[in-house]
Structure 1
Amino acid sequence: MTTNILINRRSIQILRILVSGIFLVAGLNHLLNVEKTAQRIEQANFKGIAYFFGEPQWLIILSGIVMLSAGFLFLIGYKTKWAAIILMAVLIPITLTVQVGQITSLGPLFKNIAILGGLLFFILNDTEKKLI
């Protein structure tokens, strides 16, 4: 059963802009600080997840490029659902590798969970239709 809910267009734009910011900043950070980011992976309890996908330095560069590209598309509202899917595909392994198992820093883990919730909103809802 589908229920229609009216949502203010401006609130969707604001949510999209705010969620995209973390990916633009993180993507740039990945590209400018490859070694520092690789050290964080090396210190992570679940670093094996990163190594499963490949060499961490290359993954950092690739994820930086993807986060900047998809983050920008998400920011401007172009192919929002696909950009959100791509960003989620990058965020999940990063979260599992770096944040899970870091009992002293649960804040970043729940920040990523909240970001996943924001991305899910755009994946599950057609925000490109005409709304009020």
Structure 2
Amino acid sequence: MLSGIFIVAGLNHLIDPSRTAARLESSPMGFLATAIAPAQPLVVLSGVALLIGGLALLLGFYTRAAALGLLAIIIPITLTVQVGSMASMGPLFKNIGLAGGLLFFIAHGADTFALDVFKKRAQTAR
């Protein structure tokens, strides 16, 4: 269930990167990101990473690594886009909640129907 938001966000970044780049550029702390690279390439790169990480989390494939990678992505997104404006308090706390969910998967890994579990069972059976 947690993976869905990352998959949709990744697709949105890739389908309409100019809209997301404009949002980054207009955010109060967006200069922190655009000082590193132009907004459009950052949006495309984060879109690819969100999509890959979200799909990996959905499938339970390298679950801990996927969760860690997604956490590494949403921290700077949260700091640059959601911090600094009262209008974005809801999305700020949404991202804090997402971070909590990702920390769970970093700590505990995958569960019953994950590819990681099937792979581990196959290795144990050998």
Same fold per superposition (TM over 0.5): yes
Aligned to 1:86: 69
Structure 1 residue 52: Cα displacement: 3.3
**Bigger fraction of residues in helix:** 2
* Larger RCO of the pair (alpha carbons < 8 Å, separation 6+): 1
- List alignment gaps of at least 5 residues for structure 1: 1-17
Aligned-partner SS, 1:105: helix
Root mean square deviation, CA, Å: 1.4
| 1:67 aligned onto 2:50 | yes
Match in the other structure for 2:91: 108
Q: Is the 8 A contact 2:17 2:44 kept in 1?
A: yes
Which shifted more, 45-54 or 89-98?
45-54
Q: Which moved more, 1:47-56 or 1:32-41?
A: 47-56
Identity between Structure 1 and Structure 2 (%): 49
* Count of residue pairs brought into register by the alignment: 113
Aligned to 1:38: 21
Structure 1 segments of 4 or more deviating over 6 A? none
TM-score, reference length from structure 2? 0.84
| Cα offset, 1:58, TM superposition | 0.3
Please give the TM-score of this superposition, normalised by the length of structure 1.
0.81
Matched with 1:4 is none
**2:59 matched to 1:76?**
yes
What are the ranges of 5 or more consecutive residues in structure 2 without an aligned counterpart? 118-126
